[in-house]
Structure 1
Amino acid sequence: MEGGSSRKRGRRRAASAPLEQEQLAPIAGRLSPLSPDDLGRIDEASRNILTSIGLSDAPDPVHDAVTARGGKLTETGRLTFPLSLIEEALSGLRRNITLYGRTSRHDLVLTDARAHAGSGGASPMIVDRLDGTYRPALLADLYDAARLVDSLENIRFFSRSMIAGDMTTAYDLDINTAYAALSGTSKHVMTSVSTVAHVRDIARICALVAGSADAFKARPFLSLNINHVVPPLRFDTNAAASLMEAARLGLPVMVNTFGQMGASSPVTMAGCLAQTNAETLAGMIIAWLANPDCLAVYGARPMITDLRSGGMAGGSGEQAILTAAATQMARFYTLPNSTIAGATDSKIADAQAGYEKSLSVTMAVQAGANLVTQAAGTQAGLMATSFEAYIIDNDMLGAILRSAVPVEVNNSTLDLDVIAQTVSGDGHFLGHPETYARMKSDFIYPDHADRQAPEAWLASGSPTINSAARQRVETVLETHFPTHIPPDVDKVLRAEFPIRLPRNRMGQL
């Protein structure tokens, strides 16, 4: 069974490689749940929130930057933004953003509605691959997740997927999360920070890995996920200050806002979108004030609340349409954007996880999200990470991204001459040179989803996608120990920072 499965996967890879960039990052954006009038009314409501209601708990850097441009404090201490500042920032924010990998094949172009899907979640737990139980995630698990994503073609970036529970301080957590991710993958890395001081040290790590600060700024391969607001409409003082510092230092920033509909934002989708959009725009504005050339990505992430329990319902149909609508708001401003999709409520990689993830990720991609985080590997409403799910979701993402590629209609693809030749000749197109050529360029073949005939499937031992995924996980983790940080640089990092990941755990002596 193992030999037959391996040979079959080998044939699939040979047939589908190399993948075209248009397949890996299609230009989508054909799903529009909001009408032009809807978009205008939500935009107007968001501006009213910023100019009239404002946000509380602005840290000094935010207060000083906004009031210097005409912002005011209300009698209750809420910071309001003048309309002129909103307009100027929206006009001045960069649209031409690329997030880089350590090699050019992993670059993420965020123009138009070009879509990329990746990991994420910040889960406190992991599904143990040996016995299937939930246990606290460790730093070594995070490194293994990065190694796994490094080997999976359709997971295009690595956003920190777990919180390493064995890190005893916030500083150790921030530094070692960045180190483990950068060690495990050459794809673009997204991580988080706790304080402004940690932003500077992450920038220092990136400069050392890149060779210099200027080299990193030329090709930034790490960005920061920053949740600058605690909904409803209250700045997180540490995060907002960190956002401005990261923008000032040239680190790309994901300006993320999480409001739960019916809990920390209004229970209606329109009200939730208006508040979340206002909170996200506030973050984009303060990043721009810190650095008018900042690499800021609009990250509205309104989430659905299960009103029976108060918990998140990330796998719901309501979540799928809300995410698509939030993505459409980002495209209304033509801003590079990111969102969450794939936050299944299922606890394991099963049919529920499959339909919930595929629904929300498909709608986010079709709506034109540039970056879809949490699209692979997450379970239980982002509370756990599953390595098995990474493998299955990689297949799923290949199909979803391929479905977003526009249909090409021209004389060559209509191909009337070939139709005429075929119907008067062999009567089928299987042997035609065009069929063979496009087999390699126009199709993505799954690595683990089974397409055998029933008889062959039975003869091969009736494998499931889960059993194939588990086998792939073991193979990758036993053999794939990349050296994305050269030994001499690694030595400098370990001398300057408290790196907790042992070299022998990384396949090094």
Structure 2
Amino acid sequence: MNLMGLQGGQYRPLSPEQIKTVHEASMKILEKTGITYEQGLEDTVQMLEDNGAAIDRDRKKISFSNDMITEQVAKAPEKVVLCGQDPKNDLHLTENRVHLGTGGAAIKILDMETGRVRSTTLKDLYDVSRLVDQLDNIHFLVRPCIATDIDKADYDINMFYACLAASSKHVMAGVNDEQGLHNVIEMASMIAKGLDKLTERPFISVITSFAISPLKLCTQSTHIMQEANRNRIPVALSSAPMAGSTSPLTMAGTLAQLHAEQLAGITICQLTNPGAPLLYGGIPGMANLKTMGYSGGAVECGMMNAAIHQLSNHIKVPNYNSAGLSDSKVPDAQAGYEKAFTALLASMGGANYIHHSAGMLESMLTIAHEQFVIDDEIIGNCCKVLKGIDVDAEHLALEVIESVGPGGNFMTSPHTMTHLRTEYYNGNGVTDRKSREKWEQDGSLDTRQRALGIARKFLAGSKPSYIPEEIDKAIKEKFNILL
């Protein structure tokens, strides 16, 4: 059952009038309040001024006119295709087509053997990527954890290498600096057999956290974003305000500020290279005002992330956003219901590229192998909802009802056998629907224990390398590959 790229849009937290109101409010923010910037962005600021922005250099304030924003945003592609090394994993991001996958930059992992939390390593990233490669409902691979055991100088190239070697799905991650970006592009071009072929079928993309909420441009990330634009490498324009902390407490206020940040980022990209492929990257979240930390599992996060797709759809730009997070520290009931609510809301909202949807715990700080398996099951259920109910002659089954007749039994009908494995979502094996007696005979395992068993089975299998041997050798001769 193919559950990738299905149509969402059934859930619309904002009415058409509210979408227009939020968009107009964002335009007022950009014109009146404006955005500020860090040192080192003089060339970018000059580019904006040359194209109509009003610059107050004493206050470091950039103001945008409505016409300027509208003109530049219109140049952004309405459709972005993020490819896998295997074409079956290509993602067609447009309108209400939905894809869900991993995300984050976790620094901790629940050890499979001890169950205790520890720091993440490069090998963890490789193993998790291998696991994700085998979980059919996880549609793409955003680097889910940080390799805390390698030096910063080797970080970018090794993070992408570990993911590309372990999975044929699309790989997205951030980079530390422009040199790291150039190294990653060069490595990916070697795999693709040319930069031109890489840009034709981009199996990598880059997260650029260009905005420091509220309304401030980050120098390093903006430079990375623009360099990716110049090389036609797709970028996700990540900005992640927390309601009550780095954006207004109210959901509407957070959406208006975030939409303004996105409009500014898209404008910079299109002035840098018209038509540059990008994803509107709004990730609205909530601050836990008791701890001043991030609260990722709240149902309102699902609501706001569904609204983000409506706002990106309003300006006809595909979007990247977030769902499937949990504030729970372990794969428990809290993790289950927080993930299910937010993932389903974002999916039914029609979001195009929903990251953080698999593996994440403790508000993005921690991952767990078994959680990836459980989340694959949750994502599958979300996508089944999007698939809807087929209503045609075959599925109405009038002839079957006639042949069985009143008082009959459909159990042995050929029609039942035909649709047994396709009409209903069968899952990856983690969900238990046995009798209590059979469940007890099989060890009385709970969901987490069953998921651990599945993860161990997948990781015990063969280790396919998606980088051809001769190219792999050349990469290792050029770069300090540590895996």
Question: 2 CA distance for matches of 1:329 and 1:128?
Answer: 40
**Residue by residue, what CA displacement relative to the aligned partner does 1:265-297 show, whole Å, maximum 9, x if unpaired?**
011111110001111121122112222221101
The residue type equivalent to 2:36 in the other structure is S
Once residues 414 and 196 of structure 2 are traced to their aligned partners in structure 1, the CA distance between those partners, rounded to angstroms, is: 49
| Alignment match, 2:27 | 47
Q: Distance in 2 between matches of 1:414 and 1:476?
A: 38
2:311 paired with 1:329 = yes
Separation in 2, partners of 1:65, 1:342 = 38
Kindly provide the amino acid, as one letter, of the partner of residue 402 in structure 1: K
SS in 2 for 1:334: coil
TM-superposed CA distance for 1:411, in Å, is: 4.1
Q: Which amino acid aligns with 2:201?
A: R
Tell me the amino acid that sits aligned with residue 94 of structure 1: P
For residue 298 of structure 1, report the CA deviation from its aligned partner. 0.7
For the residues of structure 1 that align with 2:404 and 2:75, how far apart are their CA atoms? 56
Number of residues paired by the alignment? 479
Specify the code of the residue in structure 2 equivalent to 1:143.
Y
> In structure 2, what is the equivalent of residue 466 of structure 1?
448
In 1, Cα distance between equivalents of 2:294 and 2:60 = 31
Whichever residue aligns with residue 190 of structure 1, its letter is M
The residue correspondences of 1:57-72 to structure 2 (distance < 5 A) are 57=37, 59-72=41-54
Equivalent residue, structure 1, for 2:425: 444
Match of 1:442, SS?
coil
In the alignment, which residue of structure 2 is the partner of 1:429?
410
Match runs of 1:10-409 below 5 Å: 19-20=1-2, 23-57=3-37, 59-74=41-56, 76-169=59-152, 171-409=153-391
Contact 2:306–2:346 (Cα < 8 Å) also in 1: yes
Distance (Å, rounded) in 1 between the aligned partners of 2:251 and 2:445: 42
**1:252 partner amino acid:** P
**Percentage of pairs with the same residue:** 32
Helix, strand or coil at the partner of 1:92 = coil
Give 1:484's aligned amino acid: Y
Deviation by residue 1:3-35 (Cα, 9 ceiling, x = unmatched) = xxxxxxxxxxxxxxxx23xx2331111101111
Report the counterpart of residue 10 of structure 1 in structure 2.
none
Deviations 1:136-163 (A, max 9, x none): 1111111111111011101111101111
| Equivalent residues of 2:156, 2:181 under 8 A apart | no
Secondary structure of the 1:217 match is helix
Amino acid at match of 1:45: A
Q: CA deviation at 1:412?
A: 4.0
Q: Distance in 2 between matches of 1:139 and 1:460?
A: 35
Aligned equivalents of 2:255, 2:151: Cα separation in 1: 37
Extract unaligned runs of 5+ from structure 1: 1-18, 502-509
Q: Conserved in 1, the CA contact under 8 Å of 2:73 and 2:270?
A: no
Q: Distance in 1 between matches of 2:156 and 2:227?
A: 16
Q: Does the CA contact (< 8 Å) of 2:79 and 2:317 recur in 1?
A: no
**DSSP 3-state at the match of 2:172:** strand
Q: CA deviation at 1:408?
A: 2.9
| CA–CA distance in structure 1, aligned partners of residues 207 and 90 of structure 2 | 18
Q: How many angstroms apart in 2 are the aligned matches of 1:61 and 1:408?
A: 55
SS of the residue corresponding to residue 254 of structure 1 reads strand
Query: Match of 1:475, as an amino acid?
Result: K
TM-score under structure 1 length normalisation: 0.91
Secondary structure of the corresponding residue to residue 141 of structure 2: strand
- 2:235, 2:279 within 8 Å by CA — same for their partners in 1? yes
Contact 2:280-2:318 within 8 A present in 1 as well:
yes
TM-score relative to the length of structure 2: 0.96
8 Å CA contact 2:97–2:351 kept in 1: the answer is yes
Once residues 179 and 45 of structure 2 are traced to their aligned partners in structure 1, the CA distance between those partners, rounded to angstroms, is 19
Question: Mean Cα displacement is larger for which, 319-328 or 372-381?
Answer: 319-328
AA of the residue aligned to 1:97: V
Structure 2 counterpart of 1:55, one-letter code: I
State the 1:67 CA deviation.
Answer: 1.4
The answer to whether residue 475 in structure 2 is matched with residue 493 in structure 1 is yes
Deviations 1:180-200 (A, max 9, x none): 111111100011112222222
| CA deviation map 1:302-338 (0-9, x unaligned) | 1111112211111112222222222221222232111
Deviation at 1:499, TM superposition (A): 1.0
SS of alignment partner, residue 441 of structure 1: coil
Paired amino acid for 2:431: A
Tell me the C-alpha RMSD between the 2 structures: 1.5
Give the deviation of 1:414 after TM superposition: 2.9
Residue ranges of structure 2 left out of the alignment (5+ in a row):
none
